[in-house]
Amino acid sequence: MNSQQPLDPRDLGRVHFIGMGGAGMSAVARLLLARDVAVSGSDAKDSPGLRELESLGAHVFVGQDAQNVAAADTVVVSTAIKDENPELAAARESGLRVLHRSQALAAAMHGRHVIAVAGTHGKTTTSSMTAVALRAAGLDPSWAIGAHVADLGANAGFGAGEWFVAEADESDGSFLAYHPQIAVVTNVEADHLDHYGSQEEFFRAFDEFSATIRDGGVLVACADDPGAANLAARRRAAGHTVVTYGAAATADVVFSEPVPRGTGSTCRLAFTVAGERRSEELMLAVPGAHNVADAAAAFAAGLAAGADADRLLAGLADFHGSARRFDLKGEVGSVRVFDDYAHHPTEVLAALGAARDVAQDHRVLAIFQPHLYSRTREFAEPFCRALEQADLACVTDVFGAREQPEPGITGATIVEHTSTDRVVSTPGADEAIAAVVASAQPGDVVMTIGAGDVTALGPRVLEALEHRR
């Protein structure tokens, strides 16, 4: 991925987005419209998201055709857009500037101080928390996040302040485009090996990311995660400013005494401001130890941005989550159904841990849809170990997304590693729903987990629970 300095949005001319209806592309389009850039875009199907962009001034095409780029100066694509796409092919034939989504986002951020939040897990929540906390602190940030954030009203927005909070995606190396003033690394744990080829290359990408921090900038890194801690040590040894956070007593921002409270949690934060060491209670409206860690990261980033500590704490207390992150879908007969985007073993373990905190003495039931054949193959046993933390985990067929099926790799590949009857293979959605609903009792928590279309099952579970009554 090109790590050159970001373009000025005034130099882009008319910008056309291929696949503008997607969450990531629509966010960048929204931001460029806010900067008075002429925007057009297409998608294969109409959607409310497209019509919302149209209401903001974008020219919308439903369907993709070479003629749609005729008036464009710059064309924006994501990794999902194939070379044979007629609009991309026409753009290249005409010699138009073609940018990856990350480069267009970097242009949208031009002139602002960037806080880029990276890491294998926790990017969305940490960047959401950071933006919400900075707003509460009166800094009026801009933001671009990979999910709708209810407290912000959208997945992207342009504020009047000098800071811009961006979720920085490492999956295809695109996080090298942002050149942040503050970089947050929540953890560095191998993933996306279909792109990087090896763990070593994946880890090297984070060193490259830290090298894009602007002169005088700050790396905020988790002291509890070996990958992030080692990155921080290397960065500090090279003479750069590093702020660490974590449960480790050696961290600059230390969280301790985490206590679950219903669907929320509390902990204590110890930190230094103006040479004075302070300890304050942090109250959160979201559950789970992972959210405590993400809040500490957001707090550390906020301090690095110069925000008032007390106002940051108040802002974090008012954070109510982002879409598909322990997202309550409803309740029937005292059975609560949540949806979560977790698609890596560590994330699944964290989501189930949060569910356990909420369920207390009741049971946790899960429907898990593996995402990508390559990830299922690489992490089958760790997925199984994570899912064994549920009282019942139904594993569906793999959501292949951009990948073609691999012979012998299915949801059952995960189940093969269990020695209990708590993790079971339910290839079809109907089978998984039936199993969970048959088992659910008042007080239980049901989780739908995965990055694919498993998110659509929550309402169906609720409907089935209603019919059972």
Here the CATH number for the domain that contains residue 297 is 3.40.1190.10
Query: Is residue 157 in a domain?
Result: yes
Query: Is residue 3 in a domain?
Result: no
Answer yes or no: do 296 and 159 share one domain.
Answer: yes
Answer yes or no: do 356 and 228 share one domain.
Answer: no
Q: Give the end of a domain, one of 73, 99, 125.
A: 99
Q: Tell me the pTM.
A: 0.84
The residue from 167, 170, 189, 347 that is catalytic is 167
Q: Give the end of a domain, one of 299, 317, 335.
A: 317
Answer yes or no: do 23 and 145 share one domain.
Answer: no
Indicate if the alpha-carbon torsion angle 173, 119, 107, 86 is positive or negative.
positive
Answer yes or no: do 306 and 356 share one domain.
Answer: no
pLDDT at 80: 85
Here the CATH number for the domain that contains residue 92 is 3.40.50.720
pLDDT at 3: 53
Phi-psi region of 310 (alpha: psi -120 to 50; beta: other; left: phi over 0): alpha
Here the CATH number for the domain that contains residue 351 is 3.90.190.20
- pLDDT tens for 28-69 read 999 999 999 999 999 999 999 899 999 999 999 999 999 999
Q: Give me the domain span that covers residue 453.
A: 327-468
Answer yes or no: do 170 and 71 share one domain.
Answer: no
Answer yes or no: do 90 and 138 share one domain.
Answer: no
Contacts of 450 (CB under 8 A, 6+ apart): 341, 342, 343, 368, 369, 370, 371, 399
Active site residue 167: yes
Q: How many domains does the chain have?
A: 3
Answer yes or no: do 52 and 184 share one domain.
Answer: no
Active site residue 463: no
Answer yes or no: do 89 and 117 share one domain.
Answer: no
The residue from 120, 123, 346, 448 that is catalytic is 123
Answer yes or no: do 92 and 154 share one domain.
Answer: no
Answer yes or no: do 170 and 28 share one domain.
Answer: no
- The H or E element that residue 254 is part of is strand 253-261
Q: Give the end of a domain, one of 50, 75, 99.
A: 99
The residue from 120, 124, 376, 418 that is catalytic is 124
Query: Which residues in the chain show pLDDT less than 70?
Result: 1-4, 192-193, 195-196, 469
Active site residue 123: yes
pLDDT at 262: 83
pLDDT at 197: 74
Query: Is residue 426 in a domain?
Result: yes
pLDDT at 13: 97
